[in-house]
Structure 1
Amino acid sequence: MLHIDLNGQPTDASPLLIVHGLFGSARNWGVISKRLSDERLVVAVDQRNHGASPRFPTQSYPDMAADLAEVLEPLVAEHGPCHVMGHSMGGKAVMVLALERPELIKSLVVADISPVTYSHDNTPLIEAMRRIDLSIVEKRSDADKQLARDVLDAGVRAFLLQSLVVKEKRWLLNLDVLEAEMPKITAFPEVSGQYHGPTFFLSGGESTYVERDHRARSKALFPEAKFASIPGTGHWLHAEKPREFEAAMRAWMHAVDAKA
């Protein structure tokens, strides 16, 4: 079972499951989770090979979707279908989940990713993390100085270093498996069928991950899809504009709940 963080208490509103992206964790979503938990139970997970969740030899989307189904099944049994939001790699995982287990999901939110194969990969970031000499790291700034040799963006460095346990000198990431499985992570699996439930593709206005020519594929799999973007944001839209992201999530879930 995946490690989960719970925020809030069950209410009449449907629970929300939050699924992070590559190199992330439930903790990255702590602020958003706490804010949204004023109205509903919010469950955030550490995906396999990330954070405090178990290590596995694969990082395929069908496997990630099966992990998420295992988390959702008891929630749905008690509270009914849940809102599910996934960012980046997590967005692809929840899309596969929706296609395979639609009965678990009340609505789907896909944050800044499309159901397509991408040409870039994040192997250079794994190599950069590996090059840090953890034996001489006494505080996070020590690691940041080393990481800066390969990763110029301070925001990306700060994000990656959230997964470093300085005192224990170890990563909360299974770097070997993530590197080996990178072709699966950048791809999107061959799937059949459609998810006909409410679906919201929310992207960063300046992100390069979601393009208009992706919409046909998104609509083919998710016929009820709605699309919106948050201006002035890139791929990490929830970190760059947390209030706007929170507001978009609230408005979406309120609208879906009102129709139920």
Structure 2
Amino acid sequence: MTLQLVQVNFKARDEVALGEFWAAALGWNLSSEGPGVINLEPAGFDWPDPSAVCVDLVRVPDPETVRYRVHLELATTSDAHQAELVARLTDLGATPVQVDQGDVPWVTLADPEGNVFSVLEPRELHRDTGPVAAVVVDCADPRAMVRFWGEAIDWTVHELTDDRALLRSVEGVGPYLEFRRTPEDRVVPSRIHLDVRPDPVEDQAKEVARLEGLGATRAYVGQGDVPWIVLADPEGNEFCVLGRH
């Protein structure tokens, strides 16, 4: 595999404050690679390591809330753990959210900048994922998304139906990447997208060409002269192929 899902990227008005929230939420370390960028990763993490999908927060003066259709789901180990985590996240600044989902066992919250995420009830599926159970991408056709993303990052398919698909690292560690069929009118706006990185990073151009062959298209989001390349998957979800800084 030469391309790895390395992180989810949050556009933030205040990357430090939002980073402190998510570092406390996940129990991860906070660092910075430069002005306006906060990195979150588990203690001792050394990329490439599929045991975690990290978080980057990038300052954008006025981040537009658009339908990136990506959100995080957090794992818990018991009903008591779920209740404790929800209470702790609320104390940190999260707020409850109603998204017309009926009576469900998980709790939906928004972080201090309004990005929606879920705290799941304990599930055997997520007992060994770490604090992030899944990175969820809302979509119209999970099967089509797996055809693209399964080839793009070479993860193993664990479940595939018309309504949802689950991918996970071939090493069987870390969070799941879930594609969930969602009506367009129920997609919750966010400022989150996926970042992938070639290994070695010098293969960026080759990997971009391969992704375009799989159905990705170039996207312009005002990025200017930057070392990453912005693409959109077959359903129009933007993601970045990272390069060398």
TM-score, structure 1 normalization: 0.28
Q: Which is higher, the Rg of structure 1 or of structure 2?
A: 1
Return the structure number with greater strand share. Answer: 2
Q: Higher relative CO (CA 8 A, sep ≥ 6), structure 1 or 2?
A: 2
TM-score, structure 2 normalization: 0.29
Return the structure number with greater helix share. Answer: 1
